[in-house]
Amino acid sequence: MAPAAGSVDQPELLYGLHAVREALRAGTRPLQRLLVIRTDRQFSELVQLAKGKGIPVRIELPAAIDRLVPDGKHQGVIAFVAAKAYSSAEEILERARHRGEPPFLIILDGVEDPHNLGAVLRTAEAAGVHGIFIPERRAVGLTSVVAKVSAGALDHMLVARVGNLSRLIEELKEAGIWVYGVEPTASTRYTGIDMTGPIALVLGGEGVGVRPGVLKECDDRISIPMKGKVESLNVSAAVAVVLFEGVRQRDAKGAAQKLIES
């Protein structure tokens, strides 16, 4: 196992048929995704093991795999090792129930910069968020850089990886959770919604924002007012602004309830 060639910002790589097969069988190493040069008989067992564990599999050109492992000892297969195992949606909702709190969730659509994801994790953990959802594709996973930038928050934050964000949102709404997309053109400001109940906030990645199909599934859209020349904030800054409004509202509600009870 080794870091990807040429960059310390890449996750660790596990390569070779035997090494990857044993890692998949044992299930002790959190794997982000699997790259194979083909899916014929030689690789079919690996592909089935990975899919059975919900690990994305991608067919890659031999030249691309050679660039990741220049010594050529990969045997046509590479696994990306995550810094931490992913959680399930059920585990995240159970954390909220265990704390006796309404779910406070973040959904990230296409955040590809590990520094941004690490910063979001750090802010979310400080704000008491119960869990973060990220997509399997077109998004950074839990790399060593993400872990470092999070300054230890990754060890305390549950992160789930899902194949379809729109379906996830449907399931969260069925569970009684209100889902809001943070979008610059929305007429409702982030301070104008109730964040004291079960809520999930959807924020988009660098440059593109939340995709239209994902926004369509949200209950409503909210925005952060911008007074300067730029049109939007970096996703980690936007997360901080919106989350701590939620913290303020939840603290105020808790204080009011204690007054009533006393």
Tell me the domain boundaries of the chain. 2-81, 89-258
- Position 41 scores a pLDDT of 83
- Position 11 scores a pLDDT of 57
CA 231 to chain centre: 24
> Could you count the other beta carbons within 10 Å of the beta carbon of residue 16?
17
SS3 state of residue 259: helix
Give the integer Cα–Cα distance in Å for 239 and 224.
10
- Position 214 scores a pLDDT of 96
- Position 42 scores a pLDDT of 84
pLDDT digits (tens, 9 = 90+) for 148-183: 899 889 989 999 999 999 999 999 999 999 999 999
- Position 30 scores a pLDDT of 84
- Position 176 scores a pLDDT of 97
Contact in structure between 2 and 144 (CB atoms under 8 Å)? no
pTM for the structure as a whole: 0.79
Tell me, yes or no, if the two domains 2-81 and 89-258 fold the same way.
no
Amino acid at the residue 189: R
Distances (CA, A) of 134 to 74, 212, 228: 28, 17, 30
Pick the CATH number of 89-258 from 3.40.190.10, 2.60.40.10, 3.30.565.10, 3.40.1280.10: 3.40.1280.10
Low-confidence ranges of the chain (pLDDT < 50): 1-9
The length of the chain is 262
Structural fold of domain 2-81: 60s Ribosomal Protein L30; Chain: A; (3.30.1330)
Reported as type and span, the H/E element at residue 149 is helix 144-149
- Residue 227's Cβ-count burial label (10 Å; 0-12, 13-18, 19+) is exposed
Give the integer Cα–Cα distance in Å for 3 and 6.
8
